[in-house]
Structure 1
Amino acid sequence: MFQASKTHLDDLHIKQLEEVCIVIDKQDQIIGVETKKNCHLMENIEKGDLFHQGFSVILFNTKNQLLVQQRLLCAQLFQGHFMDSCSSHPLYTPNELEEKDVMGMRRAALRYLQTELGIHQEQDIIFMSQKYQSVSVRCYLTLDPDAREVKSFRYMSQEEVWELLDRRGFLFPWWPYLENVSPFVEPDKIHGL
């Protein structure tokens, strides 16, 4: 998690720390706003005071391989670690607060996909559930990752990810069904964090 020192951050990341996140209760009801910096300070995380909305996008290519990215060593969070395809937060703006059809969260995910991976916003995404406000896309994509955000990336097969992770209860039940994930979509279900 983010530590108080900003010495390893560039100007882009320092500016992002001032973005305003949506603070929520455990039922995803908005109860306030706070800067990304304060939401990610370890002391606030340990106190559990600033539970906030976030999303995780998982992208699959046409071979059903999952795109994972390696964070830069100077990233705000999870420096050097391999992660999902893209993750961030919706901001406290009218466009990203819209709840109907989870449009605000989807707009935030599309905004950050373009920022982080250079993926144009014409692509639609499927909202799966509220564990991390996860969304999924399966298609052919041209990637142009922002070198200030992404150290490297690669596609991994289900078997390769299985070897790395023990997330069987969340990711793996629907991976074999990427042609039609609609039976697994649970927009109102909030999974335990």
Structure 2
Amino acid sequence: MSTTGDDVSLAGHDEEQIRLMEERCIVLDHDDRYLRDGSKKECHLMSNINDGLLHRAFSVFLFDPDSGKLLLQRRAKEKITFPDMWTNTCCSHPLAVRAELEEQEQIGVRRAAQRKLEHELGIPTSQVSLDAFQYLTRIHYLAPSDGMWGEHEIDYILFLTVPVTLAPSENEVCDTKWVTPSELKALMEELDPEAFTPWFKLIAARFLFPWWQQLLDRREGGKGKVDALSLKDLRDDEIHRML
């Protein structure tokens, strides 16, 4: 653990998570246009969020191709924002580097998602091709984590259906769970609402279950594998404002 000298905002946090706070996120206007880069720390301080600071993010929903189950992760206790909460498979930020700033067909976001699936869950990039991600829409939301930290993001939602091997990083993920739609609904009723991240609850309430049902309904031959790319006609480029 570190006291980080005079940096009271990071005092006592995990060294690796403090290091990640120096990553350069993509700062946006409300129409998802690049303005500049900003540190992950700067983008997640509520004092800056309250002044309107907004950044780009993504949320990956990975489904098993055979069963159609969704992979959930529980964020590690070491995480600075929203620790120990259940959420979708992988949630993070593209970085303000050339490869992840590229916007055509969300290629920069896809590269970031591929990178973070390996970092957080140990999924080899060889198992996740960039063209396997199905982009569906973007949401604009704001959510405080505690008095100091929070999120204010335009979040790209990506579905993925590939077989994977998992080797989660204990510094990022403390648990994983594969669930059916009914199992997820039961879990969300059983656990305290505060056990789930706010973006996951927003996506689940508005989009996830209808899309998931479409994914299951569109199985190959009616009973084969599920395929995220079968949902391409559901793609929506609008920014859904869910503040």
What TM-score do the two structures reach when normalised by structure 1? 0.91
Percent identity between the two aligned chains: 35
Match of 2:152 in 1: none
Is 1:91 aligned to residue 141 of structure 2?
no
Query: Post-superposition shift, 1:30?
Result: 0.7
Q: Tell me which of 79, 82, 94 is aligned to 1:75.
A: 79
Q: What are the Cα deviations for residues 79-123 of structure 1, in whole angstroms up to 9, with x where unaligned? A: 111111101100000000111111001000101111111112231
CA distance in structure 2 between the aligned counterparts of 1:28 and 1:6, rounded to whole angstroms: 32
Checking the alignment, whether the CA contact within 8 Å between 2:138 and 2:240 is kept in structure 1 is yes
CA distance in structure 2 between the aligned counterparts of 1:159 and 1:102, rounded to whole angstroms: 31
Correspondences of 1:4-83 after superposition (within 5 Å): 4-10=9-15, 12-48=16-52, 50-61=53-64, 62-83=66-87
Query: Post-superposition shift, 1:41?
Result: 0.8
Is 1:142 aligned to residue 145 of structure 2?
no
Checking the alignment, whether the CA contact within 8 Å between 1:58 and 1:66 is kept in structure 2 is yes
Is 1:128 aligned to residue 136 of structure 2?
yes
CA distance in structure 2 between the aligned counterparts of 1:162 and 1:26, rounded to whole angstroms: 32
Q: Secondary structure at the match of 1:54?
A: strand
Is 1:161 aligned to residue 184 of structure 2?
yes
Query: Post-superposition shift, 1:168?
Result: 3.6
Q: Tell me which of 163, 173, 180 is aligned to 2:210.
A: 173
Deviates more, 1:153-162 or 1:87-96: 153-162
Specify every segment of 5 or more residues in structure 1 that has no aligned partner in the other structure, as ranges: none
Q: Which has the higher strand share?
A: 2
Considering only CA atoms, is the larger Rg found in Structure 1 or Structure 2?
2
Checking the alignment, whether the CA contact within 8 Å between 1:71 and 1:81 is kept in structure 2 is yes
Checking the alignment, whether the CA contact within 8 Å between 1:6 and 1:14 is kept in structure 2 is no
Spell out structure 1 runs of 4+ moving beyond 6 A.
none
Question: In angstroms, what is the RMSD of aligned CA positions?
Answer: 1.6
Q: Secondary structure at the match of 2:80?
A: coil
Aligned residues: 188
Report the residue type matching 1:182 in the other structure. Answer: K
Match of 2:111 in 1: 107
Q: Which has the higher helix share?
A: 2
Q: Secondary structure at the match of 1:21?
A: strand
Specify every segment of 5 or more residues in structure 2 that has no aligned partner in the other structure, as ranges: 1-7, 140-154, 189-200, 216-225
What TM-score do the two structures reach when normalised by structure 2? 0.73
